[in-house]
Chain A
């Protein structure tokens, strides 16, 4: 199994801040990584695919980077709607796995 570790687990920030979430894979997944945003009681929302490609309709303040085993999601200029939990997901091998999540809350 490919294990994904996200850090930090919790991140406190303010509106307007720039924040970065890291996702580390236990083995090389090239760029087969996606990022999701989830709010309580809702389904995950797709943000980024292939590590750095922005899904259509997602604000440009979201960006992704990385390859191999180290990936980041950056939000530049936090908006009130961005406070949520973020998950990475690898789809390099047919046991798709998710990171444990990063909760972004108000400082």
Chain B
């Protein structure tokens, strides 16, 4: 059974760097065809895709956030980490990590429960 779980701080101050970890279970981040993505959502709004990393370390970013985002994976820990620099109150949201399957790369078939991040001084 595939599961994902996000972890990280619940509150960060403006200008700080946010580091979120997605711990994977039931699959390996190095399995051919697999991707793991990050998506965020504010209440009442549509999800917003942020980044995606593939099994072969190919990385994709939301263009408007490209300079602030870094996605990496640790095969030995089976984790994917997203860092976002220069946090702003508008970045307050629930952040989800999600599994992108080989049969529909770019869609997300299994999601973590999400972690809420508040940006406030």
Contact = CB atoms under 8 A, between A and B. Distances in A.
Nearest to A94: B60
Given A43-B113, A43-B114, A44-B111, A91 B47 contact: no
Interface residues of B, number: 23
A95 B62 contact: yes
A71 B110 CA distance: 22
Interface stretch (B24-32, B82-90, B99-107): B99-107
Q: Is the interface of A mostly helix, strand, loop or mixed?
A: loop
B103 A49 contact: yes
Given A43-B96, A91-B105, A98 B110 contact: no
Interface of A: 32, 34, 42-46, 49-50, 53, 55, 87, 89, 91, 94-101
Given A89-B47, A91-B107, 8 more contacts: A43-B113, A44-B47, A45-B111, A46-B110, A46-B111, A87-B46, A91-B104, A98-B47
